[in-house]
Amino acid sequence: MYLTLLSIHSLIRWFVLAFLVYSIYRAFIGYSKNKSFSKVDNAFRHWTATMAHIQLMVGILLYTQSPIIKYFWKETKIGLQNLDLTFYGLIHIFLMLTSIVVLTIGSAKAKRKPTDKEKFKTMLLWYSIALLIIFIVIPWTFSPLSSRPNFRQF
């Protein structure tokens, strides 16, 4: 189950990133060109948040099944001395939760803004902050915090 969850979590990451980057792009174009906030824009706002929440649920399941996390909490003193263990035990989950909260707040605020320009601006700001946090905390192959393959095998 652990390896399946890990593969699914790794795969969904790419969907979250694609939705987030495209939503930011649409928000930037809409804001800078004074476009109307269309049903497609609203759909991308909604589905970006939905994909992020799906990823969060898979991530929480993965967190409860991970042998790395189990070891970290069993041997916390040792775990805190190892950056890789600390990254997965605390940093990754805390900052990813933070990014999902930021994205969710941005989605909710954008939905309730009275003008199209404000909707685009709100989405652009909050989604960009969420994307920045996510980019920092993904364990890319080049990450100094923890390095993992960009694509996992099933």
> What six digits make up the tokens of 142?
């080049």
Confidence of residue 154 (pLDDT cuts 50, 70, 90): low
Per-residue model confidence (pLDDT) at position 115: 97
Average pLDDT of the segment spanning 51-64: 96
Concatenating the DSSP letter of every residue in 68-81 gives HHHHHHHTHHHHHT
* Helix, strand, coil distribution of the chain in percent, nearest 5: 80, 0, 20
Q: Does residue 66 surpass a pLDDT of 60?
A: yes
Per-residue model confidence (pLDDT) at position 111: 97
When comparing pLDDT for 128 and 146, which is higher?
A: 128
**Cα separation of 83 and 20, whole Å?**
28
Burial class for 123, CB neighbours closer than 10 Å (0-12, 13-18, 19+): buried
> What six digits make up the tokens of 113?
């803004």
Average pLDDT of the segment spanning 62-87: 92
Confidence of residue 13 (pLDDT cuts 50, 70, 90): very high
- 152: how many CB neighbours lie within 10 A of its CB? 14
What is the share, in percent, of the chain residues with pLDDT greater than 90?
Answer: 83
Residues with Cβ < 8 Å from 17, sequence gap 6 or more?
Answer: 131, 134
DSSP 37: -
Q: How far apart are the first and last CA of the chain?
A: 11
